[in-house]
Chains A and B, each alone.
Chain A
Amino acid sequence: MRWLRVGALLVVFGLLIAAAGWMRPYGEPVRTDMDAYFLERTPEEVVVTNVVTAVVFDYRGFDTLGEATVLFTAVMAVALILRRWRR
């Protein structure tokens, strides 16, 4: 059983190493249409120099709303479970 586990781990490790060899070189993504769009349009459309912020709060704002909801739910759950109830 122990050797089975070690073997499975080695197989996964080997697959990861092989996948790392297959990776595209850094800085050459498969598609560049979207990043070119954002980099060109952000200064005029959002009037902002930080393109990441423009994507997070403007182009993909709905995604950020979900992210904020996750944090809100986490705080709500912690407050619900850990606060001291009146006895």
Chain B
Amino acid sequence: MSVVVRTVTRLLVPLALIFGAYVIMHGHLTPGGGFQGGAVLASVVALLIVAFGAERLRRRQTSLTSVEDLGALMFVVLAFVGIGSTFFYNALAGARGLFGGTEAGSLWAGGTVPLMNWAVGLKVMAGLGSIVLLMALFGGDDDR
């Protein structure tokens, strides 16, 4: 792609990353959440592919799929945290531990919900990103 597109991409990528991280981080307080923030972050991967070509991102594909596996594992492990009562029981909410705030509306409250937002956010980002990357790589290498 042209110099204009590459420069604008360099400017936009940090902003999009911050916006996606914000949507994930405040998923339990404001509209949005893991899926939506992850989709925003995946759009960064698509933007990089459009601007710089898929070949430059080929070596990142393994790490992307690893991040997706990590997110899925984190999600299942967090689901097992409350296995003492039931599967997916929110044992951390209001327990004065990690994310155990007692005031609804605080960033550090909600128990497993914010952590699951991060897990799903990472998973959706890496999953959609690797789908786009794999399809772009399959289409051949025309990065002009």
Contact = CB atoms under 8 A, between A and B. Distances in A.
B101 A83 contact: no
Interface of B: 27-31, 33-34, 65, 68, 72, 75-76, 79, 87-88, 90, 93-94, 101-106, 109-113, 116-117, 120, 123-124, 127-128, 130-131, 134-135, 137-138
A75 B71 CA distance: 13
A54 B127 contact: no
Contacts of B101: 47
Given A49-B104, A64-B120, A71-B127, A58 B90 contact: yes
B123 A68 contact: yes
A50 B33 contact: yes
Interface string A52-71: 11101110011011001001
B72 A54 contact: no
B128 to A, nearest CB: 8
A45 B130 contact: no
